[in-house]
Amino acid sequence: MVDVKKVVLAYSGGLDTSVILKWLQDTYGCEVVTFTADIGQGEELAPARRKARKFGVRRIFVDDLREEFVRDFVYPMFRANAQYEGEYLLGTSIARPLIAKRQIEIAHRVGADAVAHGATGKGNDQVRFELGYYALDPNIRVIAPWREWDLTSREKLLQYARTHGIPVEGARKKGAAPYSMDANLLHISYEGGVLEDPGQEPEESMWRITVPPEKAPKRPQYVDLTYRRGDIVAVNGRKLTPAKVLAALNALGGRHGVGRLDVVENRYVGMKSRGCYETPGGTIMLKAHRAIESITLDREVLALKDDLMPRYARLVYNGYWFSPERRALQTLIDHTQSHVNGTVRVKLYKGTVMVAGRASPRDSLFDPSIATFEDDRGAYNQADAEGFIRLNALRMRIAAKMKRGS
């Protein structure tokens, strides 16, 4: 076993990472530094600090990363309109590179020679964390306990916790819905347990931040979103920071049952996985961003973005946030956003987001004098369409003549 003197652990304070903390101390005989990221998961973080102290941890980092998360990770991703496999808004995926980045920064600060995470050997998160680590520090040592230890079942974890005096009050009780949850400002995800049957509808009690659409208000609500260079800067005319924008949209969308998703996705490690997601604010953001782009982006620029989006989304999902290709794509995407300015009005109603209007006084490419069905006073010569159509039909006409002659 490689000698490790000090390791920075991504630590939530839950059962798994609490067991990992003690296991690292026992197995590697090293000093453990804990790092807990506040990315809007809505949990009290003080207990994580207390638990770490209980096991002799001297350096404890609990960092509020909510603004950085939305400003530097969520917003750039939404400029790309990224959806993995056409549906998933990448709520878990986009959080991992930020956690990895801060973890490496702390490792450098405290002189650690290793970092550790609690991702399992079956999931995507191990890839996302470790690609981030190595992109930022190619020489860092990575410890992934789930790939090393023999605690291969929930019961073994609980037994280890009981043996070493690790509190297990947060562990799932027998008979309870065994969902694995991950939460941040962008979403909540649910996996595992009864959800492993893709034919079974999730229980209504599973959902945490959205009301059932059928129980949402009977009257629609209109929301005005102000965009500057592709990012929302104000909600209903009120200027807000990125994190506060997302929090406000989560509350609005959740109240109207917006943003529930149930998908079977393809994990990077090769298996299919069923996941349920609540992303109310992100669902609103995606719809509104496409609306403001529809009047401010050139047709071919918009088509190019749509061509690149699946590639970009796969890069985020698979953990390549810090890769040169993602950075190159981001440069192109951000360049396209210089004129994505204006206001979008959306209507929230019974689980849906509908665009009710969009305007961009300085950057709109929509010309009503040309698009009108009324008299355009010569702004557009309809006779020009004949030659345009004949030229575009030329290759098909040639092929049709050849077939007819055969």
Burial label, 174 (beta-carbon count in 10 A; 0-12, 13-18, 19+): exposed
Catalytic residues, which ones? 16, 96, 125, 180
For the chain, how big is the Rg over CA atoms in Å? 25
Which two tokens mark 244? Answer: 């506060």
* Strand, coil or helix: 328: helix
- As a whole number of angstroms, the distance between CA 101 and CA 103 comes to 5
Dihedrals phi, psi of 60, to nearest 5 degrees:
-125, 125
Give the DSSP H/E element, type plus range, for residue 46. Answer: helix 46-54
**Phi and psi based region of residue 156 (left: phi greater than 0; alpha: psi -120 to 50; beta: remaining):** alpha
Between CA 63 and CA 66, with CA 64 as vertex, the angle to 5 degrees is 140
Q: Which is nearest to 312 in space by CA: 323, 299, 303?
A: 323
For residue 219, the 8-state DSSP code is: S
Dihedrals phi, psi of 264, to nearest 5 degrees:
-110, 115
Which two tokens mark 360? Answer: 């961009």
- One DSSP character per residue, 341-402 reads -EEEEEEEETTEEEEEEEE-TTT----HHHH-SS--TTSS-TTHHHHHHHHHHHHHHHHHHH
- As a whole number of angstroms, the distance between CA 406 and CA 403 comes to 5
Residue type, 374: E
